[in-house]
A and B are shown apart, each in its own frame.
Chain A
Amino acid sequence: MTAELSIVDVGRDFGGQAVLRDVTLKVAAGSYAVLLGPSGCGKTTLLLILGGFLDPTRGRVLIGGRDVTGMAPARRPTTTVFQDYALFPHMSILENVGFGQRMRGLSRRERDAKSLEFLDLVGLAGSERKKPHELSGGQRQRVALARALAVNPDVLLLDEPLGALDLNLRRLMQDELKSIQRRIGTTFVHVTHDQEEAMAIADEIIVMDKGTVMDSGHPDKVYLRPRNQFTAAFMGEANFLNGRMTETGSRVQVETEFGSLELPSEAFIGGDREAEVQLFFRPESIRLGMAPAGALALGDAIVEDSAFLGTHRRCLFRLNDSESTLIKAWFRQGESVSAGQSLPIWIGIDSILCY
């Protein structure tokens, strides 16, 4: 089962402090949404509100068009995979997975059959007689998933479900979560602070900070065209340069300390254009060598640090004209760049955004 989720003007106060402010968003039925943000941004609070464990101070939550605000968790078409899994320690894996059906009054035979089916879905067939403490972290995670899915929720909520797993296991579980979600079609809402995890699994990323939604959309949109500087910096490594904008007719010139350049109108994010702007570009869009015409040449820069990170080489450049600005750049593994060198670097116009 699956349903559309919409959150309308939801806010939540704790002791007079607003931890969530005017959150409005829609998650399409059957899609995988990720709530992403630094700790304390309100993402877990929002998940608790969706699950019914916390009432919003303002606003409404609708699932499949039905208002569920104030409805008890037991009656909601949602289930939660908790961060600590919260498997019942005194019950076997089979009893854990069958708990929801037991509460719905199914006979033991019916619910055991159904539980085995879901244990099979998460790849744990054969472990049904064990107790939770006999399983590894990754296996407990799967049991928690099977238990939450076994009651056929419209919306599945996952609270930092992969936080306790090591990197390889986390990657494996990301792929599995996504494939399970595709197979059963339930709407998933997943909370994490890890932007790589978010991009690996999400159909839609919702970036949050200080209790509000900063940006939302498909991973490539949020990474490549972030709506604001916060999102730009949070989604990955980012470089910023000061600039000054001058408009003459339809042409938009931006003056920087490295010269002026003409930017296309789609480089400007947000409606109101101000004179002082920040130029934003990702480290992977920096190129070595002499700049072609029209590109932004940053001149000769000194390599402060160069580290080999496996998939790429990460360098820090100190710009000649600048005391403090360090530019982060990623190059191919084979590129030989070593600390102390002075090299010319440049950026293509289409990789630059303006805020």
Chain B
Amino acid sequence: MTSRRLGNWLGLAYALTVFAFIFLPVAVLVLYSFQGGRLPVPPFDGPSLKWYGQIFADRKLMSALANSLGVAAISSAVACVLGFLAALGLARQRIPGAALMRSVIIAPLTVSYLIIGLGLLASLNASGFRPSLLSVGIGHAVINTPLCFAIIYSQTGAHQINFERAARDLGATELRVLWHVSAPVLAPAILASYFLSVTFSWDEFIIAFLLSRFEVTLPVEIWSLLRSGLNPKTNAIGSIVFLSSVLLVFALELLVFRKRGNP
């Protein structure tokens, strides 16, 4: 009895240690964003909201934030559409070399962002394309399409074939089958992959750094802030980034997984 109890306590302690290990840095970051003084180091002399006031007044930071949102929203939509079409094509059609195509589509997931970013930079230069938000968006669509494909493909099943057959049977053209039947049936997977790729694009630094020039995304702007040294302002903007990711994950949980009834 006592040994089982001891085991429970040890298990709890272990779990708390793990969570502390994961979240302590973030907790420290958030705490010192409310710092009163000029440096985000102990002792804590807050709380104060002045650094938050500063970042919301900083036009460069705010435009970087807007850029990030735009790039994330649009590049994820592109990645989702491409991933959805590829997944449905490979799930429903008998294509020679389908297994090979599947692996080739998923392969970029295993390649580092640095390599993909360098490759894109080289190709864009070669084609005379100027680095811009558009090229960042293209880069993010490249890294997120395999993810969207993998998630959506995993949710396609043979039982959905008859939905599509029924729609065609009742007079739907291929485009209307996709729009009225295939996409709604796969909606949970499509939404999940959209939210995940938004969070990835929102946080992504290397590709955004390599492929942008004058207009930059938020992580790149934060990086240039960091070059002038530690500052509670960077903590404040970091907290905003973290909070946004958390909200997205909650939205994903509520919209997608609750709906399917399997938490």
Contact = CB atoms under 8 A, between A and B. Distances in A.
Given A88-B181, A90-B185, A82 B170 contact: no
Contact of B184 (A75, A90, A103, A104): A90
Interface in B157-180: 159, 162-163, 165-173, 176, 180
Given A84-B159, A90-B187, A104 B166 contact: no
B169 A74 contact: yes
Contact of B171 (A88, A90, A104): A104
A99 B181 CA distance: 10
Contacts of A84: 159, 162
B185 A86 contact: no
A53 interface: yes
A73 B165 contact: yes
A2 to B, nearest CB: 18
Contacts of B172: 74, 99, 103
Contacts of B187: 90
Given A74-B173, A90-B187, A103-B176, A80 B167 contact: no
Interface in A240-258: none
Nearest to A84: B162
A141 to B, nearest CB: 14
B165 A89 contact: no
Majority DSSP secondary structure for residues of B touching A: helix
A104 B170 CA distance: 9
A79 B169 contact: yes
Interface in B220-250: none
Contacts of B180: 88, 99
B50 to A, nearest CB: 49
A105 to B, nearest CB: 10
Interface string A57-87: 0000000000000001111001110101011
Contacts of B184: 88, 90
B198 to A, nearest CB: 23
A314 interface: no
Nearest to B184: A90
Contacts of A103: 167, 170-173, 176
A300 to B, nearest CB: 57
Nearest to B165: A53
B176 A82 contact: no
A99 B165 contact: no
Contacts of A100: 170-171
Given A84-B159, A90-B184, A79 B168 contact: no
Interface of A: 51-53, 72-75, 78-80, 82, 84, 86-90, 99-100, 103-104, 147-148, 151
Given A51-B169, A90-B185, 16 more contacts: A53-B169, A74-B169, A75-B171, A79-B169, A79-B170, A82-B166, A84-B162, A86-B166, A88-B167, A88-B184, A88-B185, A89-B163, A103-B171, A103-B173, A103-B176, A151-B170
